[in-house]
Structure 1
Amino acid sequence: MAGATTAQRGGERRQPDSGPPPSARRPRRGPRPLPRRPRLLLLVLALTLLVGGFGTWVLYGSDWLRVERVSVHWTEGPRRLTEDQIVAAAGISLGTPLASLDQEAVADRMLAELPRLASVDVVRGWPNGVSLKVREREAEVLIPDGDRYAEVDADGVRFGEVDEAVAGVPLLDLDLEDSPSTRRFGEDRVRREAVGVAAALPESVRRDTRVIRVTSYDSITLELSGDRTVRWGSAEDSAAKAEALGVVMQAARDARHFDVSVPSAPAVVGG
């Protein structure tokens, strides 16, 4: 019994499997799916391109964000120009995409075409407007020019003309024909210096100043109402001279001639 059992077991031994290796019997699989993060990045990129393209179309291709109106706002100072003049100088075509508006080019064009403008700020007013915020130059002095008067601002810029003298704005009389100051400094600089004198005057004195007469760089005289005069000297230390003039005029109300060429020692001349 024991021997037969042993033989039987031996007869039942399994022979080695001659088929293909296990790896060859694995079923084929399709393309491996992308990890979750790259899929999310691709989705975000696609949405970004879609939104960006739509946004570009809205800004430049659609009729939604185009210029429909141009308005003018004066920030301060005089208002001699008309709104139509300012809008025409801006040259902004209605229907232009608001996003493509070159604000700096518009401002430069306006300043070149309208010398009376001192500053311009071009502001987009989404969705359909443009605001032109302007400030006009203000005449500090008037210079006789034939039958008219040239307007000159505090920077010495000639920006316009008027037919008649303006109350409260002094005339600037440049008598420099025989003055060596013209050769040394140039008429433009002498004029700017004289305009600086006008800008430094107290408002009460400025209202009474009829003429600022200049015969050389260091010889400026103010002619006031009531046949009063002020010897100013050069335009240097104008702020100190203006302060000294206010003091001496208060101290000698009936005086007609003043000298503030040396501001630390103002004087009344001739009583």
Structure 2
Amino acid sequence: MSAPVRGRSQRARPANRRARSSEHRARRRIILRRRLVALATVLGLIGLTYGVFFTPLLGVRNVDVHGAVVLTDDEVRAAAAIESGAPLVRLDLQAIRERVAAVPRIAAIEVERQLPGTVRLLVTERVPVGSVKLSDGYHLVDSTGKDYATMPAPAPGVPDLVLATPSAVDPATRAAVGVVNELPAALRAEVLQVSATTGADVKLVLSGDRLVKWGGSEDTPRKAAVLLVLLTREGTAFDVTSPDLATIS
């Protein structure tokens, strides 16, 4: 009875070896497939990264400008100097902001990327609060006191500023502009001219040939409120340098 057992055992060994060999080959095929998939994924990521960062695959195709009023869109694009086809993700947004902000008329600039290939430039132009007549024309001055443009005619709807040297750091300019900025709309509409030689001697010329001695730009809301009351009375000269002791003549 023992001989048949040995025969079956001997026959089983090659079968087991074949099964183990087949299982081993199957595992190797699975591992190989996984490695090939991993390699393909890595190569795909490398190719995609290269395409995004170093080719026009996601390059700049459009530069959209929003907010330009006096400036043209092309003038803003020229200042931004964004190369067509440049990889979108590699753009130096800070450098673009600095280039556009260097345009005197630009008060603020925002730069945005929009996939797949658009750059948005959102600009805010300076708005004049007055114009200064000098030998080369009318210099436009904004709410910060910056002299940002020269025109052949005064800016409509804003007062003439009589200043020796309009500049954001000039005390006379800062005082005159500071007063204009804080005037209520009802009073600002009456102002034809604002003059100053220092930071403490602002004067206003109103419609009807009325003159107002304003003084410094401090306490402007209080002075404006007092002046509006005084303007309801007869007079051509008003002094609100000290609003508690205002006079009319």
- TM above 0.5, one fold? yes
- The aligned amino acid for 2:129 is E
Deviation at 1:73, TM superposition (A): 0.2
Deviation at 1:109, TM superposition (A): 0.8
Look up the match of 1:269: 248
Residue 142 of structure 1 is aligned with which of 112, 116, 131?
131
Look up the match of 1:234: 216
Deviation at 1:168, TM superposition (A): 1.9
Identity over the aligned pairs, expressed in percent?
36
CA distance in 2, matches of 1:107, 1:100: 15
Q: For 1:231, what is the secondary structure of its paired residue?
A: strand
Contact kept, 8 Å, 2:164 with 2:197, in 1: the verdict is yes
**Do the aligned partners of residues 45 and 222 (structure 1) sit closer, same or farther apart at CA in structure 2, a change above 3 Å counting?**
farther
Pair 1:214-2:196 in alignment = yes
Look up the match of 1:121: 110
Query: Across the two proteins, how many residue pairs are aligned to each other?
Result: 220
- The aligned amino acid for 2:212 is V
- The aligned amino acid for 1:86 is V
Contact kept, 8 Å, 1:222 with 1:230, in 2: the verdict is yes
Contact kept, 8 Å, 2:171 with 2:198, in 1: the verdict is no
Deviation at 1:134, TM superposition (A): 0.1
Q: For 2:154, what is the secondary structure of its paired residue?
A: coil
- Across the aligned residues of Structure 1 and Structure 2, the Cα RMSD in angstroms comes to 3.0
Question: Normalising by structure 1, what TM-score?
Answer: 0.71
Gaps of 5+ in 2: 1-34
Deviation above 3 Å: which 4+ runs of structure 1?
Answer: 42-52
Deviation at 1:247, TM superposition (A): 3.6
- The aligned amino acid for 1:67 is V
Question: Normalising by structure 2, what TM-score?
Answer: 0.77
> Structure 2 matches for 1:139-218, cutoff 5 A?
139-174=128-163, 188-218=170-200
CA distance in 2, matches of 1:195, 1:165: 16
Q: For 1:109, what is the secondary structure of its paired residue?
A: helix
CA distance in 2, matches of 1:159, 1:240: 30
Q: For 1:64, what is the secondary structure of its paired residue?
A: helix
Q: For 1:226, what is the secondary structure of its paired residue?
A: coil
Deviation at 1:63, TM superposition (A): 3.5
Q: For 2:78, what is the secondary structure of its paired residue?
A: helix
Contact kept, 8 Å, 1:168 with 1:206, in 2: the verdict is no
Deviation at 1:81, TM superposition (A): 0.7
Contact kept, 8 Å, 2:56 with 2:86, in 1: the verdict is no
Contact kept, 8 Å, 1:150 with 1:159, in 2: the verdict is yes
- The aligned amino acid for 2:237 is H
Deviations 1:37-71 (A, max 9, x none): xxxxx999868744542431231244431111111
